[in-house]
Amino acid sequence: MKSTYKAVEVYEPGKFRVVERQVSEPGAGQVRIRVEACGICHTDAATVMGVYPGLTLPRVPGHEVVGRIEGLGAGVSRWKIGQRVGVGLIAGEDGVCESCRRGDPVNCQNPVTSGVTVDGGYAEVMIAEARAISSVPDELTSAEAAPLLCAGITTYNALRNAGLRGGDLVAVQGLGGLGHLGIQFARHLGFRTVAIGRGRDKEKLAKDLGAHVYIDTAAEDVVAVLQRMGGARAILVTGTSGSAMGSLVPGLSAHGKLIVVGVPQDPIQLNAFPLVFGGRSIYGSLTGTPIDGEDTLAFSVLENIRPMIETVPLEQAADAYARMMEGKARFRMVLVTKNGAAQGTPRKPLRLPQRGDGLLRMIGDHVSKHTELSTDSKPLSYPFRLLVEKSELLRQRPEHAKMPDDIRTKTRPYFGMTVPPVAERRERPRSESTYHWLTSAVFEMT
Ligand SMILES: NC(=O)c1ccc[n+]([C@@H]2O[C@H](COP(=O)([O-])OP(=O)(O)OC[C@H]3O[C@@H](n4cnc5c(N)ncnc54)[C@H](OP(=O)(O)O)[C@@H]3O)[C@@H](O)[C@H]2O)c1
Ligand SMILES: [Zn+2]
Ligand SMILES: [Zn+2]
């Protein structure tokens, strides 16, 4: 193994350079990860500009990191060499502060913070605290999984912990790295989902990601539209503008919540009137724990949620960061190392099945059922993945989705072609024959 690795460090505010560093051994309780992918989060700006509290430069940014363990420090028994894992922002609680003692490690007062107190993932190698890593399922490529470990966990946790109920009206403001995942999570958690963006250009994308309604703040009165719909039970604000946040409060229903995950530089302006009359509230939410990270990845696999990403080689981190800061990323820039590139390219994110896509919904149900049932996801994941990808192509020819009998007739000779052996499943699927013809039908038609 080479004794050095490539890293991209910030050496003074606003300036990156590519450096070669010595590979070091992980300390007690740590692992060394051969990085495959690292997402570029807007929070990285606090490292790049040198303003994150506790930061010293030079520092390697990056806290949406996925790679394989290649070294174990003393006392690490839970993890194995070769295992694929991820690291997020809050990457190790101290275990002794008041928050930790109250069982709230995310709000640890003295945490290890990736890319701030320790070097992060804009590198071929990263040393991480073993207690802070999450296991990454085989169904996700490293580049897909990386953004889920900050942008994903932050929006998923904020929504699932907000005391909402299925069918509630939930809005997501901002369509960046966080927002585009927030829309998908809101939709898949069962909420009536509204996307709030600036301009019409992102409307189609927002709807493809699952938004039922898109509100363009440049052309419409957001508060009036939300109130016409009954008022939002929650608005997840992911943008980087404080002035755009406070003005949304009157769009909430009585007891509605403005959940702040974006961290703008400018203050949030608030009017007390809608807070008091209607008992509305506003609070912040910070990322999550490593096990929340695993929940985020598992839910994304279950519901077929993926970030939309643009991958770039690690060495082009500065350009990719600039693209994110200019608001041009669609929607997450992900740095890929040469090890990551060897894992293959990520696939196109899939559109949700929509009303009228009866066949797609059935396929989706079968895929999740089978994924859940697999004893070892390896033999199953590839055919299932292919199946879902093909179902996306099927969507583009929706006339076929309305003709299951026709499909069945056409595809009888293909029965069983792509179905993994039954022996590999823990129990038989609900309807083996339906599954066979669906699988075959999709292949036949695409
Ligand atoms: N709470 C946490 O744990 C946590 C975790 C990660 C990130 N963050 C923070 O979340 C924020 C977003 O991060 P990101 O990675 O998603 O950033 P990003 O990909 O760069 O997206 C920026 C977002 O800000 C919006 N925006 C920018 N200027 C705006 C304006 N003047 N008015 C309204 N919206 C505006 C954009 O909305 P449009 O779509 O309309 O352009 C876009 O949605 C950052 O502040 C980041 O530090 C917090
Ligand atoms: Zn982040
Ligand atoms: Zn602590």
Ion ligand 2 residues within 5 Å by Cβ: 41, 43, 150
Pairing state between β 125-129 and 30-39 = antiparallel
Ligand 3 center–CA 103 separation, angstroms? 9
Of the ligands numbered here, which is closest to the C-alpha atom of 203?
1
Residues 6+ apart with CB under 8 A from 273: none
Ligand 2 center–CA 21 separation, angstroms? 24
Residue from 129, 52, 139, 26 nearest 86 by CA: 129
* Separation between Cα atoms, residue 351 and residue 372, nearest integer Å: 21
Q: Give this prediction's pTM.
A: 0.82
Ligand 2 center–CA 68 separation, angstroms? 20
Q: Does residue 128 have its Cβ closer than 6 Å to ligand 1? A: no
Q: Does residue 42 have its Cβ closer than 6 Å to ligand 1? A: yes
Q: Which fold has domain 4-151+288-341?
A: Quinone Oxidoreductase; Chain A, domain 1 (3.90.180)
Q: Does residue 241 have its Cβ closer than 6 Å to ligand 1? A: yes
Question: What are 346's two structure tokens?
Answer: 């990520």
CB 313 within 8 A of CB 40: no
The top-level CATH class assigned to 162-284 is alpha beta
User: Ligand 1, closest atom to CA 199?
Assistant: 40
pLDDT of residue 365: 56
Q: Whose CA is nearest to atom 35 of ligand 1?
A: 239
pLDDT of residue 446: 32
Pairing state between β 30-39 and 65-72 = antiparallel
Question: What are 312's two structure tokens?
Answer: 């770039």
Ligand 3 center–CA 101 separation, angstroms? 7
Walk along the chain (446 residues) and give the pLDDT tens digit of each residue: 899 999 999 999 999 999 999 999 999 999 999 999 999 999 999 999 999 999 999 999 999 999 999 999 999 999 999 999 999 999 999 999 999 999 999 999 999 999 999 999 999 999 999 999 999 999 999 999 999 999 999 999 999 999 999 999 999 999 999 999 999 999 999 999 999 999 999 999 999 999 999 999 999 999 999 999 999 999 999 999 999 999 999 999 999 999 999 999 999 999 999 999 999 999 999 999 999 999 999 999 999 999 999 999 999 999 999 999 999 999 999 999 999 987 755 444 444 444 445 555 555 555 555 443 333 333 333 444 445 545 554 554 444 444 344 443 343 333 333 333 334 433 434 344 444 434 444 443 33
How far CA 349 is from CA of 58, 324, 331, in Å, comes to 36, 19, 11
Q: Does residue 114 have its Cβ closer than 6 Å to ligand 1? A: no
User: Ligand 1, closest atom to CA 43?
Assistant: 47
CB 60 within 8 A of CB 7: yes
Ligand 3 center–CA 139 separation, angstroms? 33
User: Ligand 1, closest atom to CA 198?
Assistant: 40
Q: Whose CA is nearest to atom 23 of ligand 1?
A: 239
Ligand 2 center–CA 237 separation, angstroms? 15
Q: Whose CA is nearest to atom 47 of ligand 1?
A: 43
User: Ligand 1, closest atom to CA 332?
Assistant: 19
Ligand 1 center–CA 242 separation, angstroms? 10
Q: 114 burial class (0-12, 13-18, 19+ CB within 10 angstroms)?
A: buried
Q: Does residue 41 have its Cβ closer than 6 Å to ligand 1? A: yes
Of the ligands numbered here, which is closest to the C-alpha atom of 42?
1
Of the ligands numbered here, which is closest to the C-alpha atom of 63?
2
User: Ligand 1, closest atom to CA 197?
Assistant: 40
pLDDT of residue 343: 72
* Separation between Cα atoms, residue 115 and residue 121, nearest integer Å: 7
User: Ligand 1, closest atom to CA 196?
Assistant: 40
Strands (E), 174-248: 192-197, 213-216, 232-237
Question: Where do the domains of the chain lie?
Answer: 4-151+288-341, 162-284, 358-445
Ligand 3 center–CA 119 separation, angstroms? 20
* Separation between Cα atoms, residue 263 and residue 241, nearest integer Å: 8
Q: Does residue 286 have its Cβ closer than 6 Å to ligand 1? A: yes
pLDDT of residue 297: 98
